[in-house]
Amino acid sequence: MDINQTTESYLLNAIQNKRLSHTYMFEGDTLETLRRYGMFFALNIFGDTPRNQSLLVEGNHPDFYYLHTDENSIKKEAVGELMHVMNNKPTESEYKVYIIEAFDKLTPQAENSLLKFLEEPPEKTIAILLTIDKSNILPTIHSRAQHVHIKGQSSDRLKELEYLSEADLQTLDVLSLNAQHIKDTGENFTKLRSAAAEFSSKWINGHSLVLLDIKPMLDLCAERRDYSLLLQLIDGYVRQALHSKLKLDIFEPFKEGVKVDNIIGVNHLTNMLDEIEQANKMIQFNVHPMLAFEGMVIISKG
């Protein structure tokens, strides 16, 4: 398995030192990578033996339950079945382990039902919750989980997005954008990326009409999280401009390059990054996106 060594060591140490928590939340930007980490952790909890490997691969391990769905939500009935199975004592191993893939898909009823189970879990039972969008998960569930942040592997991030252009894929990979979110936007990602690059170029170079570009750009957003995606893209463009100014070529999310006038200095670009961060905080606090983006531009001009 292609596992990050630091995370691997953390998980293995928890097993070896017998300091396992009842609940782990693996969070990241790519479900495929999270799935691999979850299976890696489960295997090592059971014991990395050929028999356990075989049982897990075949989906026949009696002490393991994997809950996932291709539907838009995971309902209370599915969680009820999981809890029924997990209430039995382990038969093959010291522990019982269950993984819920895309935990953010749980309906409110399912989440509340599972919360009671997490509050008083059966002895020797370990939950591994996988999520690429933790924002709507109940705070009480967050508080009961050990959080493990896992950056998606490049190959996993790009696997289901081969319909994108090479330039789009480079932006996606360098900025570590949420692959599932990009997949949900479909072909609209190309438009968002192009609009962000055009806006950023005008903003960096002090174009007098840059404010007029904000509304058409925001109109491309189908849902609120797209505003944060736009800010990630703008942040990436400005950072690439900063790297270019500093003669550093190691950061290049926009393959076609960035346009920066010679008179633009490093301090100006650094201040722009600060304003992008402030705009993102405003978005998180449900400020109207037009106000957040306009404020970002106006304040940066001084």
- Residue 100: strand, helix, or coil: strand
* Contact yes or no for 136/104 (Cβ under 8 A): yes
* Contact yes or no for 162/127 (Cβ under 8 A): no
* Contact yes or no for 103/131 (Cβ under 8 A): yes
All domains in the chain, ordered by first residue:
5-156 (3.40.50.300), 160-301 (no CATH)
Rounded to whole angstroms, how far apart are CA atoms 157 and 154? 5
Residue with tokens 């789009």: 168
Residue with tokens 């007098």: 208
- pLDDT 10s per residue in the chain (302 long)? 445 568 889 999 999 999 999 999 999 888 889 999 999 999 999 999 999 999 999 999 999 999 999 888 999 999 999 999 999 999 999 999 999 999 999 999 999 999 989 999 999 999 999 998 887 899 999 999 999 998 888 788 777 788 899 999 999 989 988 888 898 898 899 999 999 999 999 999 999 899 999 999 999 999 999 999 999 999 999 999 999 998 887 899 999 989 888 889 999 999 999 999 999 999 989 999 999 999 999 987 65
What is the DSSP code (8-state) at residue 122? P
**The whole model's pTM is what?**
0.70
- Residue 55: strand, helix, or coil: helix
Dihedral in degrees, nearest 10, Cα atoms 244, 168, 178, 289? 80
